[in-house]
Structure 1
Amino acid sequence: MSTAVKALTEDEIRKLQKKQSEREFFLDVPDDEVEFLTEVPDPVTIPLERPMKFKGKEYRELTLRPMRGADFAKIEKGVKAGGSEGLVCMAVITDTPYAVVSRLGPTDSIEVMKVLPDFLPREFFSVEETVEETEEETEQDEQAGQTGQDTSPSSPPSSDGPSQNSET
């Protein structure tokens, strides 16, 4: 049995090399193979005042880590899916499901938001405004708890007249 071997043309070799180069570009490289030449913030761990459990995993603390380039795509995808930009950033940078960070208590949210700017590019978005808004919401919640009032916005009355729901 004989085997025929065909030599590749220079054009075919260039195409194969280009394909290989493109594949290598998108392969994950172990973190220990990449060395930063400038200082990178150390991860920060924040213990949760109100720990929670989600899908069998306990969340007693959140650890914020330095952003990576791939995080931008994750953040964009989360925001396009309808997530809050601040919460999506928090979820990505802490490697925590959005369902968990979106249910953090106000104190835990504020503690994470205080540290979050250290891990984001300055141009990314105004975290200070988000922290101020969260602090205002916390104050409103605390005042409501003391007075027993509900500070959440109520639904506007229907313009269709009285409610059609009747209890019998």
Structure 2
Amino acid sequence: MRLFLLALLLAPLALAGCAPADAPPAAPGEAAGPVAPVPPAGPAGNAEIGRVIAAILGEEAASTRMGIKFAGEGEGRIALVYLVGMNWCGTGGCNLLILRQTATGWEQVGNVSRVSTPVRVLTTATNGLPDIGVTVSGGGGPPAYEAKVSFDGRSYPRFPSDEPLIDAFGRVVITDAHIPPPAA
């Protein structure tokens, strides 16, 4: 066990020595590396989504825990990113970032507030993107209920509907189990 911990502590030093000596320095005004750590790539192993999320969150990426799930196909493919951290959560829940895959990469199409888990992708779609069922609770409001958020052609709404969603079919994609625990 001690040998494993020692290897774990020395690994960054060994890797630092592997960098090529003739690597060009960063250009003036250009960062030598990413400003924030790249979040996990998600179940599809898509590293690009991690870079896009890091760019959207900026400095907050380092202190944000997140659950990432993909839904939809082709032009209707989206990534649901449940953000957990001091800057993303309140008594009414946390933020759900929604990204759409395009021919040129991923673009943000929603940042829904007051969302608790579970989050569902419904079997219905609006304007080509899946409808999403989000749990709304806390914040001094009514007891927990599920609301539908739909794409209006430009974005998903910032706040879920105050109307409960009834008899909607779909599948749960994000639960508390999908959110990594805080770093020790």
Q: Greater helix percent: which structure? A: 1
Q: Same fold (TM over 0.5)?
A: no
Q: Greater strand percent: which structure? A: 2
TM-score (norm 1): 0.25
TM-score (norm 2): 0.24
Structure with greater Cα Rg: 1
